[in-house]
Amino acid sequence: MSPKRAPVVAQWFAGEGESFRLLGTRCARCAAVHFPREDDFCRNPGCGGRELVEVALSRRGRVWSYTDGRYRPPEPYVSDPELPWEPYTLIAVELEAERMVVLGQGAPGVTVADLEVGMEVEVVSGVLHEDADTVWTTWHWRPVGVTA
Ligand SMILES: [Zn+2]
């Protein structure tokens, strides 16, 4: 039996392929967008709105900053200490429409050598880790025009 796929965090993203999107919420009163999603009250201190509607965020944005992780973080980061550490790339992206910055890992194979501030990237479905019966999915950022 192949392992089931499950989001590492519920309701932060949805879809596959071209329809994969991050999900946030928008305040019905002041239109402020929240990611991570906020479902109880608007975080705008001058608003006080309590009606928040789920919205799909921009698929694309531009690299705001980036770095890479070259050593194994401590727990609760999930990694197998028996395996050699594989560096990962961390990218902060300013979303095209919302102009908010969302952090995420680079897609497999994307290194800091592939990135520049201002470069256009898109959100894609990715895998955070796998255990015996579950593939835990997340979002990744990938330079536009690169297929993997
Ligand atoms: Zn509001």
- For residue 38, the CA-to-ligand 1 centroid distance in Å is 11
pTM for the model stands at 0.88
Q: Decide: helix, strand or coil at residue 113.
A: helix
Q: Could you tell me if 96 and 61 are in contact, meaning their C-beta atoms sit under 8 angstroms apart? A: yes
138 within domain boundaries: yes
Bond from prior residue into 36 cis (ω within 30 degrees of 0): yes
Protein residues with C-beta less than 5 angstroms from the ion ligand 1: 27, 29-30, 32, 42, 44, 47, 49
- For residue 43, the CA-to-ligand 1 centroid distance in Å is 7
116 within domain boundaries: yes
Residues ≥6 apart with Cβ < 8 Å to 129: 78, 79, 136
pLDDT at residue 76, as a whole number: 87
- For residue 99, the CA-to-ligand 1 centroid distance in Å is 17
Task: Write the single-letter amino acid at 43.
Answer: R
The predicted model gives 29-39 an average pLDDT of 96
103 within domain boundaries: yes
- For residue 56, the CA-to-ligand 1 centroid distance in Å is 17
Q: Binning pLDDT at 50, 70 and 90, where does residue 75 land?
A: confident
User: What is the number of domains present in the chain?
Assistant: 1
- Residue 77: domain span: 59-148
33 within domain boundaries: no
pLDDT at residue 58, as a whole number: 98
